[in-house]
Amino acid sequence: MFAASSRILPGGVNSPVRAFKAVGAMPVFVERGRGAHLVDADGHTYIDYVMSWGPLIHGHAPRGLLKALSAAAARGTSFGAPTELETRLARRVATLMPSMERVRFVSSGTEAAMSAARVARAATGRDALIKFEGCYHGHADAFLVRAGSGAMTLGIPNSPGVPAAVAAHTLVARYNDLASVEHVLDQHRGTVAAVFVEPIAGNMGLVPPRPGFLAGLRTLCDREGVLLVFDEVISGFRAAAGGAQQVWNVRPDLTCLGKIIGGGLPVGAYGGRTDLMNLVAPSGPVYQAGTLSGNPLAMTAGLWSLEALSPRLYRHLARLGGRLAAGLADAARHAGVALQVNAFGSLLTPFFTTHAVRDYETASTADTSQYGALFRSMLAQGIYLPPSQFEAWFLSGAHTDRDVDRTLTAAARAFKALS
Ligand code: KE4
């Protein structure tokens, strides 16, 4: 299958990280997903910790979602006209994230971030954006500057094809380092439209914000008349029902969403302050549009997913995530393998390094060949991990204690072979 796909698709895949280049293995072709498990084209079953890179907080193919989707599909797949579903999902988003007073749906996190950048530039009349080294906000030109995720994994954080004139407006600071942000703001006073941040960084591997970092960004932005944009494509509805902004009680001016908001179908969203979002066409002059924006099937999947969120789900995710993170650290210690496990709720990344991982620089000290060896050993034992040291592992409501036990047993075996 990979040979056939490689003859027609660049690298044989439709998103780089899926090609397993960074972990020295042949990509798995999936036949189906069920709960927390994947079944590949050869009939092998895996416990899945990619979960489509985050959207599937309820696991693969939940019965209620399939029922809602088949009923929606019977009414038609797309109209290019408003449906009441879009209003209902926007209201649900605004209830969970009160900072999102107005919401616009798009079809990916990339579209959400690039549109939020356009609104921020229009609202402030300024061109520069500040992002953090190792953070990833999708593949729009402005954000492919020292980007994380697949760009970091493949060692192309600054992609060819991005005009120097565009990259020049993207300024880069160090994650978890307010002084670095202050320095950039001092050097570029009056020219910065917005600071874009993953409030919990997931694209250099998982790096939670240090105490005071997010509140510090809010203070600096207020002082400089700069907009604060939270990219909650990963953390939204995952860190908590109200995302990272609820956990740390910091109110951004704009928020970007994706993944969970679509329940596995293509949905992104951006939104925030009414005065800013009223700039968006047709209520204002900032143009942004999309054939499949607000698609009824995607809205149905998003509604089902957000309505199925519950305190019990977050307790389950926190407990299992905690068990998995602690168990990995224990297993590595017993095997004498240097491992730092960063974790937050149902997100985690084990870094093969002795350094505490707080930013891109410390994440880069991780031994990616050891991660590759872990990946291959776990895959052979029926555990499907993110195929990159610089990604987060995702749990879902469908994962069980038995899945975590099996994963830890397999990890102990993998670490022993590494030591
Ligand atoms: P999409 O365009 O892929 O829907 O979203 C881009 C994006 C924006 N912001 C954050 C914080 C993100 O994590 C992402 C996408 N995440 C990656 C995985 N880290 C998607 C996986 C892939 O690129 O195949």
Cβ pair 41, 29 in contact under 8 A? yes
Among 307, 338, 361, give the residue marking a domain's end: 307
Q: Identify the residue whose C-alpha is closest to ligand 1 atom 22.
A: 15
Model pLDDT for residues 300-346, shown as the tens digit of each residue: 999 999 999 999 999 999 999 999 999 999 999 999 999 999 999 99
* Domain shared by 404 and 299, yes or no: no
Name residue 105's beta-bridge partners.
Answer: 269
Find the range with the poorest average confidence among 75-79, 164-168, 261-265, 407-411: 164-168
Helix (H) or strand (E) holding 40: strand 37-40
How many CB atoms are closer than 10 A to CB 23? 23
CATH code for the domain in which residue 80 is found: 3.40.640.10
CATH code for the domain in which residue 315 is found: 3.90.1150.10
Cβ pair 25, 376 in contact under 8 A? yes
Q: What is the mean pLDDT of residues 29-56?
A: 98
* Domain shared by 14 and 69, yes or no: no
C-alpha of residue 144 to centroid of ligand 1, in Å:
12
User: In terms of DSSP bridges, do strands 192-197 and 227-231 run parallel, antiparallel, or are they unpaired?
Assistant: parallel
Q: What is the mean pLDDT of residues 2-8?
A: 98
Of 110, 159, 254, the residue with max ligand 1 atoms within 8 A of its CB, to mutate for a pocket test, comes to 110
pLDDT above 70 covers a percentage of the chain that reads 100
138 CA closest ligand 1 atom index: 6
**Catalytic site residue from 48, 177, 231, 403:** 231
Residue 271: φ, ψ to 5° = 180, 175
Among 262, 287, 307, give the residue marking a domain's end: 307
Helix pair 368-380, 401-418: axis angle to 10 deg: 130
* Domain shared by 255 and 320, yes or no: no
pLDDT value for 158:
86
C-alpha of residue 138 to centroid of ligand 1, in Å:
5
Residue 157 has pLDDT above 80, yes or no: no
* Domain shared by 242 and 120, yes or no: yes
Give the residue numbers spanning the domain of 280.
63-307
Among 271, 286, 307, give the residue marking a domain's end: 307
Q: What is the mean pLDDT of residues 3-16?
A: 98
* Domain shared by 224 and 211, yes or no: yes
What is the rounded CA–CA span in Å between residue 228 and residue 218? 7
pLDDT value for 411:
98
Q: What count of residues does the chain have?
A: 419
Residues with C-beta less than 6 Å from any ligand 1 atom: 15, 17, 53, 108-110, 113, 136-138, 149-150, 198, 202-203, 231, 233-234, 258, 268, 391
Residue 18 has pLDDT above 80, yes or no: yes
Q: Identify the residue whose C-alpha is closest to ligand 1 atom 11.
A: 233
* Domain shared by 269 and 292, yes or no: yes
pLDDT value for 419:
83
* Domain shared by 139 and 97, yes or no: yes
141 is catalytic: no
pLDDT value for 155:
80
Confidence band for 146, pLDDT divided at 50, 70 and 90: confident
* Domain shared by 293 and 239, yes or no: yes
* Domain shared by 194 and 337, yes or no: no
C-alpha of residue 150 to centroid of ligand 1, in Å:
9
How many CB atoms are closer than 10 A to CB 380? 13
Distances (CA, A) of 259 to 108, 266, 271, 306, 350: 8, 8, 15, 11, 22
What value does the mean pLDDT of the chain take? 97
Domain count, the chain: 2
416 is catalytic: no
* Domain shared by 134 and 270, yes or no: yes
Enumerate residues 6+ apart whose C-beta is below 8 A from 173.
130, 131, 132, 133, 180, 181, 183, 184
pLDDT value for 156:
80
- For every residue of 230-249, DSSP letters joined together read EE-TTTTTTTSTTHHHHHTT
* Domain shared by 386 and 360, yes or no: yes
What is the rounded CA–CA span in Å between residue 298 and residue 267? 6
Whole-structure pTM value: 0.98
Q: Identify the residue whose C-alpha is closest to ligand 1 atom 9.
A: 137
- For every residue of 315-365, DSSP letters joined together read HHHHHHHHHHHHHHHHHHHHHT---EEEEETTEEEEE-SSS---SHHHHTT
231 is catalytic: yes
* Domain shared by 116 and 163, yes or no: yes
